[in-house]
Amino acid sequence: MQINWWTLALQAINVLVLIWLLTRFLYRPVLDVIERRQEMADRLLADAASAKSDAERQNSALKQQNEALSADAERLHAEARAAADVERGRLLEQARAEASARIEQAQAAADAERSHMAKQLEAKAGELAGQMTEKLLARIDTGATFETMLAALTARLEKLDDADRARLLGDDPLTITTPAPLRAPERERCSAAIAAVAPGHPQITFAVDPALIAGVELHGPHSLVRNSWRADLDAMIANIQEDDHGERR
């Protein structure tokens, strides 16, 4: 077998030329295209990664914002609930205070009304007692009651201490008050009783007060010696009122 070296050389040259042509006009452009495509793919992947990172950051920011909003909403809700509780407590306390004040006012009004009615009843009782006493006294000899009440006045005057005696001596005039006009002998007995306690007293006058019912009282500008059934009735009514007030307290 004979080898044609020229043919082989030409074929080798053709192969080399073909390889060069393929490399020059096909392989390199293809590589360039692939590189550009790879670069584009890398850029797309980088953009996607950047977008993903941005999305994750935004998602994290939104999550933090939502958590902050939730925390603020919970805080505002708690503050509103606390404020509502405080306001409700204040309103309840105000309602209790108003109710207590109204109850106290009603109680005070009721007490005042009871006190007023009690005073009216006591005054009426005193008036009735006076009327009954006057009717009973009408059956008794006025001379006997005068003697008794004059003796009582004399006993009171004799028990006066020095200060009361000096005050009695300083009063001018002294007035002897009785429920009915006195006769001349009765006036003389009254004047004698005063003279025994306050000798030399310049003037003694006489007055009439039917409200005394029975008794002999001594009045002066600065002194008063009560000695009558009216005084006794007033004292008894005052004691009843004090006992009644003490029981109410």
- Does residue 160 share a domain with residue 227? yes
pLDDT at 108 over 50: yes
- Does residue 84 share a domain with residue 192? no
- Does residue 44 share a domain with residue 1? yes
- Give a yes or no: residue 127 inside a domain: no
- Give a yes or no: residue 198 inside a domain: yes
- Does residue 99 share a domain with residue 49? yes
The tokens describing 235, both together, are 């004292």
What pLDDT does residue 142 have? 53
The residue segments making up the domain with residue 223 are 140-248
- Does residue 109 share a domain with residue 1? yes
- Does residue 153 share a domain with residue 101? no
**Of 174-178, 187-191, 229-233, where does mean pLDDT reach its minimum?**
229-233
- Does residue 188 share a domain with residue 98? no
- Does residue 87 share a domain with residue 148? no
Peptide bond into 173 cis (omega under 30): yes
**Segment 55-95, tens digit of pLDDT:** 888 888 888 888 888 888 888 888 888 888 888 888 888 88
- Does residue 148 share a domain with residue 97? no
pLDDT at 197 over 80: no
Interacting residues of 167 by C-beta distance below 8 A, sequence separation 6+: 222, 223
Q: What letter represents residue 80's amino acid?
A: A
- Give a yes or no: residue 205 inside a domain: yes
**Segment 126-145, tens digit of pLDDT:** 556 555 555 545 444 455 67
- Does residue 167 share a domain with residue 89? no
How far apart (Å, rounded) are the C-alpha atoms in residues 140 and 132? 13
- Give a yes or no: residue 130 inside a domain: no
Q: What is the mean pLDDT of the chain?
A: 78
pLDDT at 249 over 60: no
- Does residue 88 share a domain with residue 151? no
- One DSSP character per residue, 159-191 reads T--HHHHHHHHH-SSEEEEESSPPPHHHHHHHH
3-class SS at 156?
Answer: helix
- Give a yes or no: residue 17 inside a domain: yes
Domain's final residue, options 114, 132, 160: 114
- Does residue 152 share a domain with residue 210? yes
- Give a yes or no: residue 128 inside a domain: no
The tally of domains found in the chain comes to 2
